[in-house]
Amino acid sequence: MENRIDIQICLGSSCFSRGNKHLVKVIEQYLNENNLRHLVHYHGAHCFSKCDRGPLLSIDGKEYTELNEEKVLSILDGIFGNTSSGV
């Protein structure tokens, strides 16, 4: 089996209240609509201990901070080579 891209989204209460609850759905929808589920291991993670910089996402160990839907879609497009997303 190929190595999959590891996508972790912080599910700590601070990130969750800052918008990760919505971003969980945005990422899920992006992966499904672009048929990318088989390429990633997408899962929640406990607090990343950077609550003041949330919402947080980690992709293959690289952390992304202060996220919103537009930033997340841009990051995913950059990783997967898509020029536009359907979200």
By the 8 A CB rule, do 26 and 37 touch?
Answer: no
Task: Please report whether residue 17 resides in a domain.
Answer: yes
Is 85 among the domain residues? Answer: no
Tell me the C-alpha distance between 68 and 19, whole Å. 7
Tell me the torsion sign for CA atoms 1, 79, 25, 58: positive
Tell me 55's DSSP state: S
pLDDT tens-digit map of 15-74: 988 989 899 999 999 999 999 999 999 999 988 899 999 999 999 999 999 999 999 999
Establish if 27 belongs to a structural domain: yes
Q: For the chain, what is the domain count?
A: 1
Strand order in the sheet with 40-45: 40-45, 5-10, 57-59, 62-64
Question: pTM for this structure?
Answer: 0.86
Domain that holds residue 56: 5-80
- 74, part of any domain: yes
